Chains A and B, each alone.
Chain A
Amino acid sequence: MLGLGANIVYQSPQSAIKLVVAALTTTDTDDENVMVAFTVTDSDTQAALVDGITQATGAKVNGTFELTVTNVTANPDLAGTDTFNVFQYNSASTSIYFLSLATSNITISSGDDYQAVDLTAATFLNTGGSDAGLDASGSGEIYNFQGVLSIPGFESSVSVATNNISIDAA
C-alpha cells in the first residue's frame, strides 16, 4: 500500500474573503448628530452584509463598523473610538449603509433617523478607555472620520477615511 497517498494534494486553509469598503461619507444633518455612511461596490462584501437578512430600509445587516473620530481643532487632538452596528440605507440598494448604536432594525420615518452618530456621546472612548469628549464642549469644528468594517468569517476591510470635515456645533 505504500505510495497510495503520493498524489494527494493537501490544500491550504481557505483564505477568508477580504471585505472592501469603497468610501466613507458624513452628513451633518443637525449639528453634532451626524449620519456616517459607507459605500460598497464589491459584490462579495455586499453579499456578506445582507446574507440571511430581510432587506429593508433601516434593516440591521451583518457586521460591525469600528469608527474612530478625531477632533483636529482641539489642542491636542481628541480621538475616540466606538463600535457601531450597520444598517441598510435603502431597501432598493445594497451599496450604501449607515451606522447606529441601535441593536435592531430602525424604523425610518424622516431623514433625522439616519443621523445616528452623536459626536457628543460619551460612548466614544479614548485610548485610556474614558469619554473622549470629542465635541470639546461645542468649540470643535473640524473632524476626521475613519473606520473598519468587520463581519465574522471574513477578513476585515482596510481602514477607510474622510478627513477634515467641518461639523457645526449645536
Chain B
Amino acid sequence: MGKAKVRFDSFDPTAAADAAINGRASKGSVGSRTWGQSTSSERPTHKTHGTNSKLKGPITTSQFDGSDDHLDLSTAHSLSTSDAWMFVIAFVDLDTSSDNTLLGFTGTGGNPDGYLQIGSGGTSVKWKPATGKRPEVSTAINNTDNSSTNYTFGSDVEVLILYQTGGQQFYYNIDGDLIGQTSVDGGFSQFCDLTEIGGHSGETEFLNAELIDVRIYTGSDVPPTTTASLQAIGNRYKQYKD
C-alpha cells in the first residue's frame, strides 16, 4: 500500500475559526493540486477543535452546509477501470434528511455527471456512473441482502469505505463491516475524472455534514482489504469520537 493519490484533509489547526475554505492543498501523492471554490458563498467553513461535542482531541473539520457548499479539485484526477480503487470518506453530523453527495465525477460523452452519495435516511449508497449510458445504482445497506451487516449512517462520526475491483463495488463502515456490495462496475468505458467533493456537476444534493477526511487510493496504493486493515482505517477516525 501507499499514500492516497488525492486527499482532502480537514485537519488544519492554524486556520481561523469559521474561515471559508478555499485553495487547500491536496495532501495526496499527486502534487500541485488544490481544493477550492470560486464562488465565495459556496465555500465550506473551517471548524476548529472543540467546537463539535462529538469529537475529542485536536481534530478540526470542514462544515458543508447542504445548500450549495462544495469544493472543486484544481486538476481533475483520472480514475481507470483497469485499476482497483478505494475511497475513504470520514465525516460527522451527517444530516440524512436528503441525499448527501460525497464525491462528484465527470466523464466524456452524453451526460458527464457522476457521483457517490449516501441516500436519504442514511440507508443506501448511491453510485451514478459519469456517463449518460448508465443509470444510478442504489444499494440498500439497512438489510443484509448484500452484506453481513445491517447498517444506517447517522450523525455520529462515520466512515464510508468504497472498494472497487473488477465489476464489483464493496462498501464498508467505520467498524470495517461490509454493509453493501453491488456488481456494478465503474460504469464507464475506460476513465472518469474525480472533480468535486460535497457536490456534483448537476449541482444538487449537496453534502450536509462536517467532513473530516477524504482519501482516494488507486492501484497498488490501495490498502489491504483484510478485516484488520478495514478496521484499522475505521479506528483512525473512531479515536476522535467523544
Contact = CB atoms under 8 A, between A and B. Distances in A.
Interface of A: 23, 25-31, 35, 37, 39, 73, 89-90, 93, 96, 98, 108-111, 114, 138-139, 141-142, 162-170
Given A29-B27, A165-B235, 12 more contacts: A23-B56, A25-B57, A25-B239, A27-B11, A37-B57, A90-B13, A141-B223, A142-B232, A162-B239, A163-B235, A166-B232, A170-B3
Contact of B13 (A114, A139, A141, A142): A114
Nearest to A25: B57
Nearest to A142: B232
B223 A35 contact: no
A19 B215 CA distance: 37
Given A25-B58, A142-B229, A166-B229, A111 B2 contact: no
B50 A31 contact: no
Interface residues of B, number: 28
B223 A96 contact: no
Contacts of A23: 56-57, 239
Given A25-B58, A96-B58, A30 B27 contact: yes
B228 to A, nearest CB: 6
Determine chain B's interface SS by DSSP, over half rule: loop
10 contacts: A23-B239, A25-B57, A73-B228, A96-B49, A111-B11, A141-B223, A142-B228, A164-B231, A166-B229, A167-B236
Contact of A98 (B58, B229, B235): B58
Contacts of B4: 168
B14 interface: yes
Among B14, B223, B229, residue most surrounded by chain A Cβ atoms (within 10 Å): B14
Contacts of A29: 9, 11, 27
B224 interface: yes
Given A114-B13, A141-B224, A168-B4, A96 B235 contact: no
Interface string B48-76: 01100000111100000000000000000
A113 B2 CA distance: 22
A169 B2 contact: yes
B91 to A, nearest CB: 16
B86 to A, nearest CB: 11
B57 A39 contact: yes
B239 to A, nearest CB: 5
Interface string B213-242: 001000000011000110111011001100
Contact of A96 (B27, B57, B232): B57
A47 B213 CA distance: 33
B113 interface: no
A165 B11 contact: no
B12 interface: yes
A122 to B, nearest CB: 21
Among A39, A108, A111, A166, residue most surrounded by chain B Cβ atoms (within 10 Å): A166
